Amino acid sequence: MKNMVLLTGSSHPKLAKKISETLGVELSECKLGKFSNHETSVEIKSSVREKHVYIIQSGCGRVNDNLIELFILIQACRMGSAKRITVVTPLFPYSRQSEKSQKKRLPQHQIGSEIMNSLTHNKETSPTMPQGVFAQSFMGMSPAENGYREWCARAGTLVSNLLQAAGTDHLIAMDLHDPQYQGFFRIPVDLIYAEPCITQWIRSEIPNWRQAVVVSPDAGGAKRATSICNKLNLDFALIHKEDLGNTKESMGLVGEVNGRPAIILDDMIDSGSTIGLASEILKRHGASEIYAIAIHGVFSGPALEIINKSPVDVVACTNTVPQEDFLKQCPKLRTIDIAPMLAEIIRRTFYGESVTQLFVHDEHI
Amino acid sequence: MSSNSIRILAGNSHPALAKLIAKRLGTDLANVTVSKYSNQETAVTIGESVRDEDVYIIQSGCGEINDHLMELLILINACKTASARRITAVLPCFPYARQDKKDKSRAPISAKLVANMLTVAGADHVITMDLHASQIQGFFDRPVDNLYGEPSVLRYIRENIPDWKNAIIVSPDAGGAKRATSIADHLDLDFALIHKERKKANEVSRMVLVGDVKEKVAILVDDMADTCGTLGLAAKTLMENGASAVYAIVIHGVLSGKALDVINNSMLTRVVVTNTIPHAEKKKLCPKLDTIDVSAVLAEAIRRTHNGESVSYLFGHATI
């Protein structure tokens, strides 16, 4: 491993440390910080000339700061004559493209106050004030006035182009929200899946897992859930959101959960509203225990509060996003460690070995 | 065939300047909302059509620079996918302009990175003011207009500094000598330079004045004032060498960290900055601060670019 250099940004240093320990390669010393005028400063202390550099940065916390830091790290390695630069993003930033019709993910200035209030069960809290100076002026204008339907910008292609422009040769990403995202890149992209870690967790941590039902909280995640069902030989159920228009939705369960433990499976927990609503429905339909497993535990806003108040028994997320603070606030939370998986991927790509082996023979993990 | 019009979009870095520019051009700011999702990702919503229009996006490299940079990139990309005819990024203060060379091993050239990012996002043209090094224009494959604040600075000196005919222009370091001599020539004044003598590394360096400032009003000229350590020491040196008063005029007033305390406690009579970077709040804390309004220069550059007229007129003449 003499020609490998491991670098980490400031988004998730603990994960990078775990990966380096598993690999037996020390993290290269790199000074990260900010100048007094808030510009990012990056100083790589050891040589990267003719080395294969792996940069580990997750799209969490202060996303824009971490993203620019990642670009500058890549550029610095390029200027330092690195042979090849691979970027490892446990959580890829700006990976969710906002679909106006879905109404699932709205900027803070558009979230309907009734939905947020009902989820936090607190009539006194008002929705968070929109950030950004122009939000207030915009709030007074409705689409009908000028006849133009406003649209939200989608930053997906932009981020992929920026990564390539900065000088990335290879990207390793975990569980992208849209797998088609790989096509935005000209460089090779390795999509890796947390599925083997999740199936292992289910088998070891859920006592009566053989009777469980895997539930997808929306239609989009059905494929993900059925894949796990097939591996574990379990039954499947789906929660279907029926859009009645004007932000009114009715959610119905398709499948049977009565008297059996239910495992809700999603790729991300951000606002917590999906898990909150899904667990209520499953409780109503008689599920004996309710587990929620998500790959990326972002937990923004009142998410932890919603989960603490909901009927969910245990929530498990991987550590693609730092989980220490969340663990302190939510006793229901558990962590699935994916550092060994990432370390194995890095080792295999460095030596030119097959990566798909990991996902076919998951009993070995 | 209808001709297209100017659309001004503004990010969150300097809305006051954007409003001034729009007012000067006789138009309104476009209906754009820039905010954040709950997970800190930037959210941009465009509320009007920009199809086939000449779009100018005004965003300065100040405050939370990384957030504002991402806002700018996403705005440019959004207009590109909305079929705007031409997209010009107007950056009164260019971000990461000081990281423009590889001065030690593995140092990033962040200015080049920003140039790449702007081009990749879809900017066709860049307008900026007083780049730290004008060679940064070469980092771009697209046309760049590097405007000068010099005419506005000359006008300020003539109108606001009493006894300016008896003044002397001083550069606070060797790198800014060219800038200072240019101003001195235009005003027909003398020139002096402050040279930092470093005896040992990490030792407080001595400042040596080259030139004569006795009984004259000294005007320090620089492109950027960040922590103001250099300016404070320079003022002290000038007063010790007999100057009657010390003014400082800088184009980009970053004024970060303890800059305002340094200015208040220093021997500077007045510190003048342009409004490329917002400082309304800082003015309340520091009575020595004064402003040169450059919104007219930027607005004129936008108008001339849109109409296809020459912009070089602005390099020598202050706008009315």
Residue B194 lies in a domain: yes
Same domain, B228 and B181: yes
Q: Nearest-CA residue of chain A relative to B94?
A: A39
Q: Return residues 89-108 of A near B (CB < 8 Å).
A: 93-94, 98, 105, 107-108
Name chain B contacts of A93, Cβ cutoff 8 Å.
41
Asked if B36 reaches chain A (Cβ–Cβ under 8 Å), the answer is yes
Query: Residue B217: what residue type?
Result: V
Residue of B36, B65, B74 with shortest CB distance to A153: B74
Distance separating alpha carbons of residues A100 and A81, to the nearest angstrom: 44
Segment B223-276, tens digit of pLDDT:
999 999 889 999 999 999 999 999 999 999 999 989 999 999 999 999 999 999
**Residue contact A38–B99, C-beta within 8 A:** no
pLDDT for residue B26: 94
Q: Which of A39, A116, A163 to mutate against chain B (most B CBs within 10 Å)? A: A39
Tokens of A312: 């969910």
In terms of DSSP H, where are the helices of A233-365? 273-284, 303-309, 324-329, 339-351, 357-360
Same domain, B233 and B256: yes
Residue of A107, A158, A298 with shortest CB distance to B73: A158
Distance separating alpha carbons of residues A165 and B303, to the nearest angstrom: 31
Asked if A118 reaches chain B (Cβ–Cβ under 8 Å), the answer is no
Name chain A contacts of B49, Cβ cutoff 8 Å.
148
Same domain, B22 and B111: yes
Residue B255 lies in a domain: yes
Same domain, B64 and B127: yes
Residue of B15, B31, B41 with shortest CB distance to A93: B41
Å between B122 CA and nearest CA of chain A: 9
pLDDT for residue A364: 40
Å between B279 CA and nearest CA of chain A: 13
Name chain B contacts of A63, Cβ cutoff 8 Å.
39-42
Residue B17 lies in a domain: yes
**Residue contact B113–A72, C-beta within 8 A:** yes
Å between B130 CA and nearest CA of chain A: 18
Same domain, B57 and B122: yes
Taking the model in full, what pTM does it have? 0.84
CATH code for the domain of B10: 3.40.50.2020
Q: Return residues 200-259 of A near B (CB < 8 Å).
A: none
Residue B109 lies in a domain: yes
Low-confidence residues of chain A, pLDDT below 50? 100-106, 108-145, 362-365
pLDDT for residue B195: 86
Asked if B109 reaches chain A (Cβ–Cβ under 8 Å), the answer is yes
Asked if B67 reaches chain A (Cβ–Cβ under 8 Å), the answer is yes
Residue B287: alpha-carbon gap to chain centroid: 21
Residues B8-19, mean pLDDT to the nearest whole number: 96
CA dihedral angle for residue A312, residue A318, residue A324, residue A325, rounded to 10 degrees: -50
**Residue contact A161–B121, C-beta within 8 A:** yes
pLDDT for residue A121: 42
Asked if B311 reaches chain A (Cβ–Cβ under 8 Å), the answer is no
**Residue contact B108–A107, C-beta within 8 A:** no
DSSP-derived 3-state class of residue A227: helix
pLDDT for residue A140: 33
Residue B36 lies in a domain: yes
Å between A338 CA and nearest CA of chain B: 22
Asked if B15 reaches chain A (Cβ–Cβ under 8 Å), the answer is yes
Distance separating alpha carbons of residues B73 and A154, to the nearest angstrom: 11
Residue of B40, B66, B109 with shortest CB distance to A79: B109
Å between B158 CA and nearest CA of chain A: 31
Same domain, B310 and B287: no
The DSSP secondary-structure symbol of B199 reads S
**Residue contact B66–A67, C-beta within 8 A:** yes
Q: Calculate what percentage of chain B has a pLDDT beyond 90.
A: 78
Å between A129 CA and nearest CA of chain B: 11
DSSP-derived 3-state class of residue A72: helix
pLDDT for residue B190: 93
Instruction: Mean pLDDT check: name the lowest of A24-33, B79-88, B93-102.
Output: B93-102
Residue B1 lies in a domain: no
Asked if B72 reaches chain A (Cβ–Cβ under 8 Å), the answer is no
Asked if A29 reaches chain B (Cβ–Cβ under 8 Å), the answer is no
Tokens of B204: 């407080």
Same domain, B210 and B249: yes
Residue B196 φ/ψ, nearest 5 degrees: -85, 115
Tokens of A1: 């491993």
**Residues A78 and A87: beta-carbon distance below 8 Å:** no
**Residue contact A166–B256, C-beta within 8 A:** no
Closest to B234 in 3D by CA, of B179, B196, B284: B196
SS3 per residue for A121-172: CCCCCCCCCCCCHHHHHHHCCCHHHHCCCCEECCCHHHHHHHHHHHCCCEEE
DSSP A241-264: EEE-STT-EEEEEES--TTS-EEE
Same domain, B141 and B273: no
User: CA angle B70-B87-A103, nearest 5°?
Assistant: 50
Distance separating alpha carbons of residues B136 and B140, to the nearest angstrom: 8
Asked if B41 reaches chain A (Cβ–Cβ under 8 Å), the answer is yes
Same domain, B177 and B260: yes
Residue B58 lies in a domain: yes
pLDDT for residue A98: 58
Å between A165 CA and nearest CA of chain B: 6
Asked if A298 reaches chain B (Cβ–Cβ under 8 Å), the answer is yes
User: CA angle B225-B228-B232, nearest 5°?
Assistant: 130
**Residue contact A151–B45, C-beta within 8 A:** yes
Beta bridge partners of A293: A265, A316
Q: State the pairing for strand pair A30-34/A40-44.
A: antiparallel
Distance separating alpha carbons of residues B32 and B79, to the nearest angstrom: 11
Provide the ipTM. Answer: 0.82
Asked if B121 reaches chain A (Cβ–Cβ under 8 Å), the answer is yes
Asked if B43 reaches chain A (Cβ–Cβ under 8 Å), the answer is yes
| Domain that includes residue B184, residue range | 150-292
Segment B65-77, tens digit of pLDDT:
999 999 999 999 9
Asked if B111 reaches chain A (Cβ–Cβ under 8 Å), the answer is no
Cα–Cα distances in angstroms (integers) from residue B208 to residues A41, B173, B193, in the given order: 31, 10, 8
Residue of B95, B119, B256 with shortest CB distance to A36: B256
Q: How many domains does chain B have?
A: 2
With a cut of 90, say whether residue B287 has pLDDT above it. yes
**Residue contact B113–A166, C-beta within 8 A:** yes
**Residue contact A166–B117, C-beta within 8 A:** yes
Residue B154 φ/ψ, nearest 5 degrees: -60, -45
Å between B59 CA and nearest CA of chain A: 13
Segment B134-173, tens digit of pLDDT:
889 999 999 999 999 999 999 999 999 988 999 999 999 8
Chain A and chain B share a number of CB contacts under 8 A equal to: 181
Residue B229 lies in a domain: yes
Same domain, B286 and B159: yes
Same domain, B37 and B169: no
Q: Return residues 223-282 of B near A (CB < 8 Å).
A: 226-227, 254, 256-257
Same domain, B208 and B132: no
Residue of B36, B105, B116 with shortest CB distance to A108: B36
Asked if A147 reaches chain B (Cβ–Cβ under 8 Å), the answer is no
Q: What is the CA radius of gyration of chain B?
A: 21
**Residue contact A300–B121, C-beta within 8 A:** no
Q: What is the sign of the dihedral through the CA atoms of A111, A112, A117 and A123?
A: positive
Segment B178-187, tens digit of pLDDT:
999 999 999 9
Residue B261 φ/ψ, nearest 5 degrees: -65, -45
Q: What is the sign of the dihedral through the CA atoms of A263, A266, A272 and A276?
A: negative
Residue of B33, B66, B257 with shortest CB distance to A135: B33
